[in-house]
Amino acid sequence: MNYPNGKRSASVFKNNNLYSHQFGNRGMSLEKDINDTNAYYLETNKAVIHKKPTPIQIVKVNYPKRSAAVITEAYFKQASTTDYNGIYREKYIDFEAKETKNKTLFPLANIHQHQIDHMEAVVAQGGVSFILIRFAVLDETYLLPAEKLFTHWNAQLNGGKKSIAYETIKQQGYFIPFQYKARVDYLTIIDKLYF
């Protein structure tokens, strides 16, 4: 069955069972869900937030055919900062998105010092910065404000834990329920925290 816009229905048959695309593929990709959410925000004039491209330096290109160039060697020009940035209600928004298969903790090794430095600079200038963390196995996504992340990062640098416990993220972060259009509706939480 197709919707009037030509897209296929969310429900399909899988292994002779009705399988809901809405819930069945939820854990597939945090990045895709955020990109879909950002597209919805843009379409509805709610916010302008995009994924930042990672700057690369192309070194070698293979031309097997004139119409099919293949990049065979490239390097990152510089360390990237965070994944997403944009503007919402006249506030600069800047955040990182991470997915983990771990059920009990989020490893801080997934974050880098230059990203923390960037997030600290954003906060110091009055911008909104945070990290979205998806526990893929649990199919749960949380928004953790940058200020809370900084506390755990600094504790790690001073001999503390090199991870944030799932229970701590549940307490200090904000659960984002999966939705149909705004799949990872993080702006609802930003509204509560900043407006």
* Residue-level pLDDT, tens digit, the chain, 195 residues: 344 444 444 433 333 333 333 444 444 599 999 999 999 999 999 999 999 877 677 778 888 777 778 888 877 666 678 999 999 999 999 999 999 999 999 999 999 999 999 999 999 999 999 999 999 999 999 999 999 999 999 999 999 999 999 999 999 999 999 998 999 999 999 999 999
Task: Tell me how far the alpha carbon of residue 142 is from its chain's centroid.
Answer: 10
Report pLDDT for 120: 98
Report pLDDT for 28: 52
Closest alpha carbon to 133 in 102, 162, 155: 102
73-118 confidence digits (pLDDT tens): 877 666 678 999 999 999 999 999 999 999 999 999 999 999 999 9
Report pLDDT for 56: 73
Report pLDDT for 18: 36
Q: Residues forming the annotated binding site for Mg(2+)?
A: 81, 83, 96, 115
How many structural domains comprise the chain?
1
CB distance 153 to 111 below 8 Å: yes
Q: Residues forming the annotated binding site?
A: 81, 83, 96, 115
Residue at 84 is within a domain: yes
CATH number reported for the structural domain that contains residue 138 in this entry? 3.40.1350.10
Residue at 7 is within a domain: no
Sign of the alpha-carbon torsion through 110, 124, 155, 138 = negative
Beta strands 48-51; 84-88: pairing state: antiparallel
Residue at 71 is within a domain: no
Q: Give the range of the structural domain holding residue 100, as residue numbers without chain letter.
A: 14-52+80-194
Residue at 112 is within a domain: yes
Q: Please give the model's pTM, rounded to 2 decimal places.
A: 0.78
Residue at 72 is within a domain: no
Residue at 144 is within a domain: yes
Report pLDDT for 78: 64
Residue at 111 is within a domain: yes
Report pLDDT for 11: 39
End-to-end CA distance of the chain: 41
CB distance 165 to 105 below 8 Å: yes
Residue 5 CB contacts under 8 Å (≥ 6 apart), including other chains: none
Q: Which two tokens stand for residue 101?
A: 């298969």
Residue at 75 is within a domain: no
Report pLDDT for 77: 65
